[in-house]
Structure 1
Amino acid sequence: MLSECFIFGVITFLITGAQCQETEVFAEAGSQAILPCKCSSSSRFAPAIMWSKVNKGTVWRKEKNGLQYWGSSWSPKGTQRARCPHSQFERGDFSLQINDVREEDGGIYSCRVANDHRVTENMVKLIIIKVSVSPLEPMLGSDVSISCNMSPEPYGVTVRWMLNNSPFGTAKSVLEEKASARMTGNWTCVVGYEGKEGRASATLTVKGIIQPSKDDTKVYAAVGSAVTLPCVFSPELLPAKPVWAKLKPGSLFIHTPDRLPASFIASSPSSQPTSDQSATLKEVEFEDEGTYRCSGIVKGHWLTRNMQLVVAKIDSSTPSKKRDSMTLTCQLTDTSEVVDYEWVHVVYDLNGTQSVGSIQKGKTLRLGKVSEENQGEWTCRFYGKEGILGNVTHHIPLMGGLSGQKSSGVSNNTIAVVGLSILLLVLLLVLVKMFLNHQRRKRIFQYPALETIVHTTSNEREERERSREKK
């Protein structure tokens, strides 16, 4: 094999028109590397091609008659890791593809293309990049090493790190850190060399409390609702002596506990230890807001996670001058993450079907006049930069308790006033009639003879009427 390389090399230098180019190629360990080799040729005959690695012998070669050969280390158990796509030969592209590249594949490769009396040679330096993490899954608070390895490592190379696609401020090829929740994710090493760039990545998983993933995570809940405070350890970690505590304001560093809410329920104890130590508040009150801490001992490490419970409620007020109007205000105990408020009118029909009515923006909702159109449920949704954070609902009673009741009251008062007026008018007429009768009698009593005549005339009229009835 070495004699073939020597002979091919001697022929290269003896034939006139030999050319030589050199380039660098970066590839991540485990990926596919493409080593370029492009030559311009107008010959009608198929060229002879040989790819070899300096000091390592032939990788792949093809004779003019079409026969192909692989080096012994490049075709283990009959599987060829290196090949040249024949479909590109007509375009003068003789690039070599290496699948599943390894660190030992790094080095200098030579591509020689012999066509008629012309030989073209390209030199390619393959640099393999690999990111290593040790240990693979460190415990929270333990030492962890992240290294960026290059094979071979060129002189004058630059290194920078990315964590979850965000820059991580260091230029060292090896990082020595204490494992923390913020280090969890995808680490990418970006290598720069002579204007070219290559990169490789590895995932770091830190064992400990995985939910919430970081301290001071905010959990939102509405007054009167139930809420879960998450505290989940890595699946293989079973914490001993799990403890929940509510911290007094300003006591994050001195660990001063406060009284837990009355509706607080820690995870129920069981005979089998579990990694889920989440707690529940069955009915949240506005005063339950604050910082809660979940703790547990895992393999001698005391692991803790703080979370912030943010409570929301709706305050309603009625202006003194406009009793039929109402103002609703969305109140949160912490608004540091809130960027927008939205009011949604929820309406139910006779069948109980829910539908969404008007939507309004703003922390405060002003209802100019409460009527059938705006009674029912109003939901305040509050949003953060990444979407909705939570919501809280307020129920406006039916019209009988608001403007409708007032209208009904006005109608009843009107009827009562009209009835009372008629009654007074009747009494007044009766009094006038009685007064007139009294006056008439008084005038008659002043003339007794006239009264006798009137009385006699009346008696005679009655006698005549009785006589007629007898006949």
Structure 2
Amino acid sequence: MHLEQKVQFLVVLGLAVFFQGAKCLDQEVIVAYGSVAVLPCVDDSSENPHPSAVYWSRIVDNVKKTVWRREKSGLEFRSVNSPSRVYCPAPNYGKGDYSLHITGIMDEDGGRYVCMVDGKTLMEKTVMLRIVKVSFSPPIVMEGFRLDTKCVISPKPEIKKLQWKLNGKATDKAVLNSVSQSDSGNWTCRVSYNNVVGKATAFLQVRGVSTPPADSSMVYAAVGSSVSLPCVFTEGLVQLSEIWKRNSTTRNSSLPLPSSLHQRSLVPLSSRDGSAWIQTVEDGDEGIYTCSGMMELTNIRMKAQRSMQLVTARVLSSSSKGQMTLTCHLSNFSQVTSYEWLRVIYGVNNTQTVTSVSTSERMKIPKVSEQDIGEWVCRYYGTGGLLGSVTYQLNMMAFTGAQIGQSDSKSGNKVGMVFGFGFLFFVVFLILFQMYKNYRRKKMILLYPAMETIVHEAATEQERIERRHAKLNEACGGDLKSVCV
């Protein structure tokens, strides 16, 4: 054996002994399932680039298996199992970077890797690759069913910290007993171990009705306008079942659908859009509207439905004594937090001037004039902003009615005054008339004094006769006949 061959043999033997006895771990890498893993192997001690041989191996059941290697001649050797997923970028060699790249990471790729570089000096580094993966059980779920979210790490470490995020917002939910459309989206699991951070994301699809995403949503519409009732299904729609029905908001009883309601045709079902619209909303069209359809999931058919409440809005007007009151009336105002009245004046070239005049539910116009004729708009707001608006046209008829009310009020006041003065005059007349009669009676008595004396003497004689009869009756015991006999 030549001297050069002996030296190479001793070097390889020394490397093998050193590799078998290596126990230290230089670095850990945590990457998401399906992504690209970069296993670092950088020779910081080599300032001048030198032709090197690079050996990447993986320890499986305490056995070293070659993953990728490159001889000093430039000849590369790849693993038979995954020849296209593993590579080491040659342009990085001049910088002393011999990192291994693995694309399309799978669960079985996790484990301990060893990098040996035979160049001007001998270098060896060990890297632990861990795979983090988000999984759902079941992978596709229907609304209202149970869902388990899992964060799987392979090989499993002693996790110090694990965090969940749903669509970028932190959440502490891992088990969902009743899943809804609000649980759809990107679920991200973030893990930290030995000051190394890794994360993985998976998309969750919830079968059912995607729009609107939840029950009991409010749809606002002004009386006389048109309104859309949205109902869009997710994938899996196979059949419709009473796609639209209407119930009362106060009692559990069905109501007929509005005559101007139109339903979208779901032919073919691949469109999945079962929305409806009311061409002209009328007073009394409010209520709970429900759309429904049959969904198929793993050969099982289940009913998916969504309910929404239609709230109608209109302006009520009343006038009294020339004052007009406009009231913003809603069939359900539980979600309304504030109101705003706007005066809209149209000018030339379709220009308009909008002025805010009140923030109350009721807006009063103290004295209606021709300048008030035109458009008045009531806006109503909720916690999330503007809910809707309703328009009222103050026309000449309403203006005339207010003026008539004002005139009737004035004429009514005049009639009251006339009636009061007439009654007072009548009472004074009766008093004066009675005083006049008394005066005339006294005057007539003074004109005939002899007649007054005769009347007085006749009354006195009659009184004397009555007293005499009373005494006789008392003396005879009440029998006047015996005395006379």
**Shorter-chain TM-score: what band?**
0.5 to 0.7
Structure 1 residue aligned with 2:108? 104
Q: Structure 2 counterpart of 1:104, which letter?
A: E
CA positional deviation for 1:133: 3.5
Q: Structure 1 counterpart of 2:261, which letter?
A: I
- Asked if the contact 1:52/1:110 (under 8 Å) is kept, the reply is yes
Rounded to whole Å, the distance in 2 between the matches of 1:58 and 1:141 is: 50
Q: Which stretch has the larger CA shift, 210-219 or 381-390? A: 381-390
Q: Structure 2 counterpart of 1:58, which letter?
A: T
Measured on the aligned residues, the alpha-carbon RMSD in Å equals 4.3
Q: Structure 2 counterpart of 1:283, which letter?
A: T
Rounded to whole Å, the distance in 2 between the matches of 1:121 and 1:342 is: 74
State the TM-score, normalizing by the size of structure 2.
0.64
Structure 1 residue aligned with 2:66? 58
Structure 2 residue aligned with 1:265? 261
Distance 1:232 1:86, change over 3 A: same
Structure 1 residue aligned with 2:374? 376
- Asked if the contact 2:245/2:257 (under 8 Å) is kept, the reply is no
Larger radius of gyration: 2
Rounded to whole Å, the distance in 1 between the matches of 2:41 and 2:369 is: 80
Where in structure 2 are there 5+ consecutive unaligned residues? 1-7, 408-485
Secondary structure (helix, strand or coil) at the match of 1:288 reads coil
Residue 154 of structure 1 pairs with residue 157 of structure 2: yes
Rounded to whole Å, the distance in 2 between the matches of 1:374 and 1:89 is: 84
Secondary structure (helix, strand or coil) at the match of 1:206 reads strand
- Asked if the contact 2:266/2:273 (under 8 Å) is kept, the reply is no
Residue 121 of structure 1 pairs with residue 124 of structure 2: yes
Structure 2 residue aligned with 1:305? 306
Structure 1 residue aligned with 2:278? 281
Structure 1 residue aligned with 2:87? 82
Residue 30 of structure 1 pairs with residue 37 of structure 2: no
Structure 2 residue aligned with 1:420? none
Rounded to whole Å, the distance in 2 between the matches of 1:108 and 1:101 is: 15
Of the candidates 391, 394, 398, which is equivalent to residue 392 of structure 2? 394
Aligned runs of 1:402-413 on 2, under 5 Å? none
Structure 2 residue aligned with 1:362? 359
Residue 204 of structure 1 pairs with residue 204 of structure 2: yes
Rounded to whole Å, the distance in 2 between the matches of 1:236 and 1:101 is: 31
Q: Structure 2 counterpart of 1:211, which letter?
A: T
Rounded to whole Å, the distance in 2 between the matches of 1:380 and 1:8 is: 88
Aligned runs of 1:301-380 on 2, under 5 Å? 301-316=302-317, 320=321, 323=322, 328-338=326-336, 341-350=339-348, 353-359=350-356, 362-364=359-361, 375-380=373-378
Structure 2 residue aligned with 1:436? none
Structure 2 residue aligned with 1:440? none
Where in structure 1 are there 5+ consecutive unaligned residues? 410-471
Rounded to whole Å, the distance in 2 between the matches of 1:369 and 1:346 is: 18
Q: Structure 2 counterpart of 1:392, which letter?
A: V
Structure 1 residue aligned with 2:220? 220
Rounded to whole Å, the distance in 2 between the matches of 1:313 and 1:5 is: 96
Identity %: 36
Q: Structure 2 counterpart of 1:22, which letter?
A: D
Secondary structure (helix, strand or coil) at the match of 1:242 reads strand
CA positional deviation for 1:215: 1.0
Residue 163 of structure 1 pairs with residue 166 of structure 2: yes
- Asked if the contact 1:245/1:257 (under 8 Å) is kept, the reply is no
Of the candidates 10, 14, 28, which is equivalent to residue 10 of structure 1? 14
Rounded to whole Å, the distance in 2 between the matches of 1:183 and 1:116 is: 57
Distance 1:22 1:239, change over 3 A: same
Q: Which stretch has the larger CA shift, 214-223 or 365-374? A: 365-374
Rounded to whole Å, the distance in 2 between the matches of 1:373 and 1:24 is: 79
Rounded to whole Å, the distance in 2 between the matches of 1:47 and 1:19 is: 28
- Asked if the contact 2:88/2:98 (under 8 Å) is kept, the reply is no
Distance 1:115 1:382, change over 3 A: farther
**Which whole-Å deviations, capped at 9, do the CAs of 1:423-467 have from their partners, x for residues lacking one?**
xxxxxxxxxxxxxxxxxxxxxxxxxxxxxxxxxxxxxxxxxxxxx
Distance 1:399 1:291, change over 3 A: closer
Q: Structure 2 counterpart of 1:131, which letter?
A: V
Q: Which stretch has the larger CA shift, 119-128 or 369-378? A: 369-378
Secondary structure (helix, strand or coil) at the match of 2:238 reads coil
State the TM-score, normalizing by the size of structure 1.
0.66
Rounded to whole Å, the distance in 1 between the matches of 2:196 and 2:166 is: 21
Structure 2 residue aligned with 1:456? none
Distance 1:6 1:182, change over 3 A: farther
CA positional deviation for 1:31: 1.4
Rounded to whole Å, the distance in 2 between the matches of 1:315 and 1:346 is: 18
Count, aligned residues:
386
Structure 2 residue aligned with 1:44? 48
Distance 1:316 1:115, change over 3 A: farther
Structure 1 residue aligned with 2:288? 291
